[in-house]
């Protein structure tokens, strides 16, 4: 049996169905190009008959994609098949994916047809599609709830008609792994011409088993897996392709198969899909979640620093992720604190680890999460300065016109002096107030991330703004919380400015000590 598993991506078709707003042609093309770069074998780019916009998207993508095979969906309806064939006509090689329900439930309650009529419709549609391409895939919709005898009957007929790929969808996520593997094994045993086709599975995650079902299908002989990036899709979503792909790579000892995927493109592609589709990735999401390679427990952090294999089964770099994150929280141990101090270039003799760790725990209990610049402040700033907020926002005023200029004026307490500054920009009120603050402090900072989260409901809801800025090749976090979004944005930036000021005091103190030593 072939050891290569074909990866069939339906992010642009099944995945898009879960979005609140349809993607533009440009957005779909950007995702398709990213999928192609990742080494995806088959990209299902749309359902051309569904709308003129979808037809245009399929047509546009067909012109651009060269290294992956393009695929479009069609019902067992002549106009659907014609639309699919015409939309992909500019592609050098393409696939038409036809589907029809085969379960008794769907036949009786949805289609109002008997099984013989279903077989006739399927065969007729395949013959129609073969006029456009010899690469036909057929999906027996709701296959996991179709009787095994009926499934074998229709599959044998379809393969004889010319279908090269038979898809077994778990359409409503009803199966558990041993059930789906039982179906696949029986197809290989009972369908005499099964060796002439590739068996595929398309699993949904309604019971949280889409990836498990897909893996069990591979073990039973399936050689195509359908799914989406980040597992987006109808209801609870589809098989998360990045999880299946990495399971195949990490557990090759058990599965004995491989893919054509360029694994180092996984993280980048995941991020592109998340951003364009406006679907944030849960922090605990396997493979690509922000916590997938982060460690908070002191025991785990110590183990990771000694040998990453202790608590990581995947090298972050293998999916294109460069940085491993050790979260500094009250659960962290001395090893993590020392790791960050070493990373910043400090020697053991520069500070007292026991005193620093005790101060760190107090701050972690108060603040929640601590950052490397907090450690510097704890290690080298006296206790009076430690809690000092050098900058304090005393007043702000913003005027903004839609599609026009925004003007902001601020009064900022800097130590014991108040400074006033204003700024006008076409980038909105938040940018205007940030520019005004920057004119006072004159720190060369770059805003890298701005995130707004509502805390509560109604008119009294608080807006929490989290920002990440870069200053002199270091990253600084800031948080602001207020009922007014502009105020919370300003507070977040003032929070950052205070963190930067503390580090500048650390540098001054260290430079002074260095000068004293040299003299």
Reduced to 3 states, what is the DSSP secondary structure of residue 428?
coil
d(CA 72, CA 92): 14
Residue ranges of alpha helices (H) inside 133-290 are 148-161, 177-190, 210-220, 241-250, 252-255, 266-277
Give CA–CA dist 278/273, Å, rounded.
8
CA 335 from chain centre, in angstroms, equals 30
Q: Taking phi first (over 0 means left), then psi (-120 to 50 degrees means alpha), and beta for anything else, what does residue 139 get?
A: beta
* Assigned token pair, 332: 């962290």
Q: Which residue has the tokens 């900058």?
A: 391
Which SS3 state, helix, strand or coil, does residue 120 take? helix
Q: Is 238 annotated as a binding residue?
A: yes
User: What single-letter DSSP state applies at residue 221?
Assistant: T
Residue with structure tokens 């990771």? 304
Cα–Cα distance for residue pair 279/243, rounded to 1 Å: 17
> Is 14 labelled a binding residue?
yes
> Concatenated DSSP letters for 344-394?
TT--GGGS-HHHHHHHHHHHHHHHSSB-HHHHHHHHHS-HHHHT---EEEE
Residue in the block written with tokens 């390679």: 293
Tokens of 416: 């014991």
Q: According to DSSP H, which parts of 191-265 are helical? A: 210-220, 241-250, 252-255
The count of residues in the chain is 519
Contact 118, 105 (CB under 8 A): no
Distance between CA atoms of residues 147 and 63, nearest Å:
41
> What's the token pair of residue 117?
């009529």
Cα-based distances in Å from 395 to 419, 421, 467, 487: 10, 11, 21, 10
> Quick check: helix, strand or coil at residue 467?
strand
Q: Would you call 285 helix, strand, or coil by DSSP?
A: coil
Do the annotations mark residue 300 as ligand-binding? no
Indicate the annotated binding residues.
14, 202, 204, 238
Indicate the annotated binding residues for Mn(2+).
14, 202, 204, 238
């Amino acid at each position: 049996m072939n050891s290569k598993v074909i990866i069939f991506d339906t992010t642009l078709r099944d995945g898009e169905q879960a979005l609140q707003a349809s993607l533009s042609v440009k957005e779909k093309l950007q995702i398709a190009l990213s999928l192609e770069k990742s080494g995806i074998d088959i990209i299902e780019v749309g359902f051309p008959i569904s709308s003129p916009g979808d037809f245009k998207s399929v047509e546009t993508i067909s012109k651009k994609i060269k290294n992956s095979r393009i695929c479009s969906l069609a019902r067992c309806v002549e106009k659907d098949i014609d639309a699919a064939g015409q939309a992909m006509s500019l592609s050098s090689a393409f696939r038409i994916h036809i589907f029809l329900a085969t379960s008794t439930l769907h036949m009786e309650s949805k289609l109002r047809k008997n099984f013989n009529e279903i077989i006739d419709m399927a065969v007729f549609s395949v013959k129609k599609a073969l006029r456009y391409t010899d690469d036909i895939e057929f999906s027996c919709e709701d296959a996991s709830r179709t009787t095994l005898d009926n499934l074998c009957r229709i599959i044998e007929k379809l393969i004889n008609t010319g279908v090269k790929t038979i898809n077994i969808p778990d359409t409503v996520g009803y199966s558990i792994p041993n059930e789906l593997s039982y179906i696949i094994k029986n197809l290989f045993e009972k369908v005499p011409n099964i060796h002439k086709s590739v068996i595929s599975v398309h699993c949904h995650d309604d019971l949280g088993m889409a990836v498990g079902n897909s893996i069990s299908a591979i073990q039973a002989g399936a050689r195509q897996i359908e799914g989406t990036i980040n597992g987006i899709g109808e209801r609870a979503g589809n098989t998360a392709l990045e999880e299946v792909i990495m399971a195949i790579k990490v557990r090759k000892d058990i599965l004995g198969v491989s893919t054509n995927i360029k694994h180092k493109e996984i993280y980048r592609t995941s991020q592109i899909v998340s951003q364009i589709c406006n679907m944030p990735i849960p922090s605990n999401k396997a493979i690509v979640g922000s916590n997938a390679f982060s460690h908070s427990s002191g025991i785990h952090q110590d183990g990771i620093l000694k040998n990453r294999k202790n608590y990581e089964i995947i090298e972050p770099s293998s999916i294109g992720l460069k940085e491993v994150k050790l979260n500094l929280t009250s659960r962290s141990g001395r090893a993590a604190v020392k790791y960050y101090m070493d990373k910043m270039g400090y020697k053991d003799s520069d500070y007292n680890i026991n005193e620093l760790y005790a101060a760190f725990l107090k701050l972690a209990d108060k603040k929640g999460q601590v950052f490397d610049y907090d450690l510097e402040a704890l290690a080298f700033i006296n206790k009076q300065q430690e809690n000092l907020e050098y900058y304090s926002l005393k007043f702000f005023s913003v005027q903004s016109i839609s599609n026009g200029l925004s003007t902001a004026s601020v009064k900022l307490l800097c130590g014991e002096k108040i400074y006033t500054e204003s700024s006008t920009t076409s980038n909105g009120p938040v940018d205007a107030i940030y520019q005004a603050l920057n004119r006072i402090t004159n720190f060369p900072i770059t805003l890298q991330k701005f995130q707004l989260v509502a805390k509560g409901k109604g008119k009294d809801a608080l807006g929490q703004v989290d920002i990440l800025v870069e200053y002199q090749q270091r990253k600084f976090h800031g948080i602001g919380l207020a009922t007014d979004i502009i105020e919370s944005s300003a507070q977040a930036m003032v929070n950052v400015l205070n963190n930067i000021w503390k580090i500048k005091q650390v540098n001054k103190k260290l430079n002074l000590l260095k000068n004293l030593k040299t003299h």
